[in-house]
Structure 1
Amino acid sequence: MKYPAADLDETIYNPERQLDVHVIEELSKCEWIEQGKNLVITGKTSSGKSYLANALCICALRQFKAARYMKASQLINELSKAEKLDVYQEELNLFAGYDLLVVDDFGLMNLDVNKCRNLFEVFDSRDPHKSILIISQFPVSTWYDMFQNHTYAEACFARLLSRAYRLEMNGKNMRNMEPISK
């Protein structure tokens, strides 16, 4: 994980963050993971998306759920490598087995047809019983254009977004914030 010590600390209550604290507290209970639902966190760079996702991932681990955190580019690269080594299905089965798969920096790479297919295969292997948490700097409304193949885009979105909670991070730049003292 990017932030292995991430926690839902007092910074989520800071009004400058503009967070729906009740929603985050509910997400931390991980019932959405037990239900096989997805979560999409979007917002500006440095708004705290990855930190929050890591904190939610840690909440899942504390409840003995199997979870994996990775960047979208790492996911795509691992599947491409597995394809070349003729272990694609085994790798796909690994991704399908986690209770929660966290994919960070979604949308920061061009998705040619092969990458589109790989994403689809991962999303499809998890639907409808396993959860995916997507983190992106881009609004969901712009994702369609990231895919070179729009049929794969539609198929991915059908599996990812139809059962997804969405959380938009609009608050202050977190890299410039000091923790709140109690």
Structure 2
Amino acid sequence: MLIQQTLTKLHSLKLSGMAQGFEEQLSNAAAHSLAFEDRFAMLVDHEATHRENQRLRRLLKTAKLKVAACVEDIDYRHNRGLDKSMMASLLTCQWIERGLNMILTGPTGCGKTWLACAFGNQACRIGKTVLFHRLPLLLEDLQIGHADGSFHRRLALLAKADLLVLDDFGLAALNAQGRTDLLEVVDARSGGRSTIITSQLPVDKWHDYLGSANPTVADAILDRLTSGAVRLPMRGESMRKVRARETGTA
């Protein structure tokens, strides 16, 4: 009876990890021979691990990454322009701590979105808040925000995330409102928050994409996105075709 009361109190105190560890100790005969201090330390470790896992699940759920990618699965076998030593440095996420942006460019299928999601996953692991958006859909949502009065709330959420992933930059044509909204987003994040941009367009084509109607806005967007940014120009054939050949489904 006392054991059940203890478990109930642990759950009521939101110490679910410790409660689970206590139940495991009760069913493990080997644990009974350990000193009290050792068993208690194990319970504390169990609770800490449980909370860390819960936090990671919450961060990943909020991030809504397009694919479940992780850095351990980065494929270096194919020549995509990924330097292992540079990648090892980037995977520490110090560039996020410094508020730098990352630009991933390359042909369709080369793995830009996958790699962006892997960096997003890594950022979540170290406790950073992450948001993933396809840029064309995000700009549509912001357009709706102007109509229903939620624009500033949406902008504040985008500005607050430690890492924002903007996928498919340059894929859809921009109207005047879209350019202005994109400037608002990148301006709200400049100087402290990191953004990953994926694009099939090389960076030297971005001004043409942004600036046909308003070169001043284009200059402002480019300055905020590219200044000091980490650039990863990727190359190679579609990884979907490569995977299909490797699995014999091509």
Conserved? CA contact 1:76–1:118, under 8 Å: yes
1:3 is aligned to 2:86? no
Greater CA drift, 17-26 or 74-83: 17-26
1:32 is aligned to 2:95? yes
Q: Secondary structure of 1:37's partner?
A: coil
**Quick one: which amino acid aligns to residue 178 of structure 2?**
K
Gaps of 5+ in 2: 1-64
1:149 is aligned to 2:247? no
Conserved? CA contact 1:95–1:101, under 8 Å: yes
The correspondence for 1:175, drawn from 217, 233, 240, is: 240
**Quick one: which amino acid aligns to residue 66 of structure 2?**
K
CA–CA distance in 2 between the matches of 1:46 and 1:26?
A: 24
TM-score, scaled to structure 2: 0.68
CA–CA distance in 2 between the matches of 1:41 and 1:12?
A: 16
**Quick one: which amino acid aligns to residue 83 of structure 2?**
D
1:166 is aligned to 2:231? yes
Q: Percent identity?
A: 37
Structure 1's consecutive aligned runs of 4 or more residues displaced over 4 angstroms after TM superposition are: none
**Quick one: which amino acid aligns to residue 231 of structure 2?**
R
CA–CA distance in 1 between the matches of 2:233 and 2:226?
A: 14
Q: CA deviation at 1:18?
A: 3.2
1:66 is aligned to 2:129? yes
Partner of 2:104: 41
Q: How does 1:63-102 map to 2 (within 5 A)?
A: 63-102=126-165
Conserved? CA contact 2:110–2:235, under 8 Å: yes
Q: CA deviation at 1:11?
A: 4.7
Distance 1:108 1:87, change over 3 A: same
Task: State how many pairs are aligned.
Answer: 179
Deviations 1:129-151 (A, max 9, x none): 00010000110111111123211
Q: Secondary structure of 1:167's partner?
A: strand
CA–CA distance in 2 between the matches of 1:28 and 1:70?
A: 21
**Quick one: which amino acid aligns to residue 145 of structure 1?**
D
CA–CA distance in 1 between the matches of 2:74 and 2:236?
A: 11
Max Rg structure: 2
CA–CA distance in 1 between the matches of 2:74 and 2:157?
A: 34
Higher helix proportion (structure 1 or 2): 2
Conserved? CA contact 1:19–1:171, under 8 Å: no
CA–CA distance in 2 between the matches of 1:10 and 1:81?
A: 37
Deviations 1:43-67 (A, max 9, x none): 0000011111110100000011000
CA–CA distance in 2 between the matches of 1:12 and 1:25?
A: 13
Q: CA deviation at 1:12?
A: 2.7
Greater CA drift, 12-21 or 130-139: 12-21
Higher strand proportion (structure 1 or 2): 1
CA–CA distance in 1 between the matches of 2:81 and 2:116?
A: 16
Query: Relative contact order (alpha carbons < 8 A, sep ≥ 6): 1 or 2 greater?
Result: 1
Q: CA deviation at 1:70?
A: 0.9
TM-score, scaled to structure 1: 0.93
